[in-house]
Amino acid sequence: MKKEQLEELKDKCNNCYKCELGKTRNNIVFSDGEPESAKAILIGEAPGENEDKTGTPFVGRAGKLLNEFLEKAGISRAEDLYIINTVKCRPPQNRVPTDEEKALCSEFLLKQIEIVNPNVLIFCGATALKSFYPKKTPISKIRGEVLELEIGGKTRKCMPIFHPSYLLRYHSLEEGSPRDLMLKDLKKIKSML
């Protein structure tokens, strides 16, 4: 049932040219993962070059790093997660999507959340967090916290985590390092699934 609803939504998304991003994309990047079994939705920022080529989110260097952390935390990318972005098309030069672009794409994002109806939403990076969290709080201050937010007419458990592209700059696994915190956050999410 979920798959059919999502396929219909994907068809609408494929035909969407409401903003300029639709005119420059190679592919929409709709989702990845198994919507029937997913207990969490991971929301990223926007597709990058590799994602635009393949139509799949998180397939570049940051995606590979994300996969490593998910595996270490015992989370199956294929079965436990449904992965989406705040916008479905790549912004030029991988810039951050504008508020207008996110607003025009939000109907797809909110409908995906409604259909999959996960136990937890994971805001992967500051852009995803800012799309749902009204306070101007740096992600470093609230990453790993469970937030209860009204999204799509329902109160949902949400957790902000660092974006893996941020972790590419930090290689230390020492206690309190960004990579250490990311692993702890993902293990906490695993316990919520």
Residues 6+ apart with CB under 8 A from 88: 13, 16, 28, 29, 30, 47, 105, 108
| Cα–Cα distances in angstroms (integers) from residue 85 to residues 31, 37, 58, 141, in the given order | 8, 19, 9, 22
| Domains located in the chain, CATH noted | 2-192 (3.40.470.10)
Residue 169 to residues 14, 83, 129, Cα–Cα distance (Å): 34, 23, 20
Closest CA to 63 of 39, 80, 44, 79: 44
Residues 6+ apart with CB under 8 A from 113: 41, 121, 151, 152, 156
pLDDT in tens, 49-99: 999 999 999 999 999 999 999 999 999 999 999 999 999 999 999 999 999
Q: Is the dihedral of CA 109, 111, 115, 117 positive or negative?
A: positive
User: How confident is the model over 101-157, as pLDDT tens digits?
Assistant: 999 999 999 999 999 999 999 999 999 999 999 899 999 999 999 999 999 889 999
What global pTM score does this model have?
Answer: 0.96
Instruction: Report CA-CA distances (Å) from 18 to 38, 46, 89, 105, 164.
Output: 29, 16, 11, 8, 29
Sign of the dihedral defined by the CA atoms of residues 59, 11, 95, 183, in that order: negative
Cα-Cα-Cα-Cα torsion 55, 143, 131, 158, nearest 10 degrees, comes to 90
Residue 152 confidence (pLDDT): 86
pLDDT tens digits, 2-36: 999 999 999 999 999 999 999 999 999 999 999 99
- Contact indicator for 21, 89 with CB cutoff of 8 Å: yes
